[in-house]
Chain A
Amino acid sequence: MKVKYLSDDYFNELEQRAGKEEERPGANIGAQYVITDPPEAGDIRYYLKIEDGRIVQARRGALDEPSFTVTMSYDSSVRLQEGELHPATGFATGELQVSGDKASLLTMIPVFQSSAYQALIGDLRTMSEY
């Protein structure tokens, strides 16, 4: 099955596969993403809601009060999903920009580095069409 990258179907697949991450009590985050210069008109906004270290919601749209907002170009986001860009390098070079509560992004590093999350991204990589 193929889904269009960052479409509603894509986030539906992400949400269905999520929740297997290791529990991290107290790691409750609303992560907002803004993807600039996508193939479609306007920016793409999506968010992840994480409770106790587990992704419980992944949708297109905007959170009222995100913990932090990560902004990147569509090209960077594709390279990130394809494993060609590491988030640590992306942030360090400014290719990925974070605003809001940067400290809360730190708490998400173990979640994003976990093998469960990497497996989830691996699944999405194989089914994504750009």
Chain B
Amino acid sequence: MTVRTGPHTRDDSADRARAADAALAEVLLTPEGRAEPYSRYKRLRELDPVHHSGFGMWIISRYDDVDALLRDSSVGKDVRLFMQGRFGGDWEEHASLRRMGTSMLWANPPEHTRLRRIVNNTFTVRRVAALEGFIEKLADELLDPIARAGGGDILNEFCYPLPLQVIAELLGVPQRDAPSLREPMRDFQRTFELGLTADELLQADAGAEFSDEYFRGLVAAKRAEPADDLLSALIAHEDDDGGKLSEIELIGYCNMIMGAGFETTTHLLANGLNALLSHPDQLARLRADPELVEPAVEEILRYDPPVHLVLRMNAGPVTVGGVEIPGGQVIATILAGANRDPDRFTDPERFDIGRREGLPISFSAGIHHCLGWALAKLQAEVVLRVLLRRFDHMELVAEPVRRPRLTLRGFETLDVKTVEGDRS
């Protein structure tokens, strides 16, 4: 339980804000902070949980505050405010940034409500559940060469291709085409991160243009020959007044679903494997009791989530944790910090796969709650079951290399040694 102290003097508040900025600077500006951000989130949460940072952005790090803000209907997204602040007035000249300006991810009601309702009606529990067998078979196929070699870079050889091929299967992208979308999608996703050079922005533009063109062709192919997939269902959708989705809207859905459903799950799987292999006692516990797979996935999502922060903008003033934030601000909610709030989770720095204390906030909350949460969890659960079935032993053989990113936190490589069990 966090001890709340009495009112602070102005000097005291300024000191705390400065110390909170120092913690934030370590996360943003040092390799040590990128490698281990959690102790810095803790300092932020304790020093100034609703923090107006030195560079202007508000930073929210307590679970209840993050949850309340994300559910607050007066807080939304303002793509122009954000893009102009970050990329300047000519941001719409870039295909990758323009795409975000038209994405459901950046939309507000009532447009968001319309787009979300349509995709909710097609991205159904039934459609996700039907993928379980495909995921298990694919996981086994992708693990075969790793098993034969006695190990490998499980991030690049397994955690990348699996979600890419799963989301392709869901959407209706032919499996033979899925690998060609990996690099363009990754280049585009780079726009979510701090620190993008002019060359990288051009690469992101090229990635966006490549996938737009690819999906334009796919939409035409599915119109001509519908199948039992999400894109065909979206094409078949009719509004109450009989209206159909436009080509641009359909391409937007394809990009959003592929983009949001691919690398996020890659890093969920890799961060989870790293957590388990770094805590052999928890891995042994899971092996002894496979019923723990479901809570283990929840704990992985809490302990080291793939998405560390999401942004919101407020048109008018909003009060968070007793602090009034004036209108027109960019607000970062630190999901990964909120997940370690001791007011919400007991002994939050401990990795405990038997923890049953409710859901972490890793899939965000409110109207932008992750559309693909059930698919992400299903993949993680199936992967853990397959790994436990296939391998009697797994261990890290080298210190995993973190990539220097924060919005999508993961690794560059994850080298493991595996010992296959007797499958006879």
Contacts and interface: CB of A to CB of B under 8 A. Distances in A.
A8 B258 CA distance: 51
State which size class the interface on A falls in: 20 to 34
B55 A106 contact: yes
Contact of A88 (B26, B53, B195, B199): B195
A35 B315 CA distance: 43
B397 interface: no
A88 B89 CA distance: 21
A103 B194 contact: no
Contacts of A115: 88-89
B174 interface: no
B55 A109 contact: yes
A93 B199 contact: no
A103 B54 CA distance: 7
Contact of A102 (B25, B198, B199, B200): B25
Interface string A84-128: 111111011110011001111111011001010010000000000
Interface in B32-88: 34, 53-56, 86, 88
Contacts of B404: 89, 92-93
Contact of A93 (B21, B24, B31, B88): B31
Contact of B21 (A83, A87, A94, A103): A103
B196 A86 contact: yes
B220 interface: no
A53 B405 CA distance: 28
B30 to A, nearest CB: 7
Contact of B28 (A104, A106, A113): A106
Contact of A106 (B21, B89, B198): B21
A93 B19 CA distance: 23
Interface of A: 83-89, 91-94, 97-98, 101-107, 109-110, 113, 115, 118
Interface of B: 18-19, 21-22, 24-26, 28-31, 34, 53-56, 86, 88-89, 194-200, 404-405
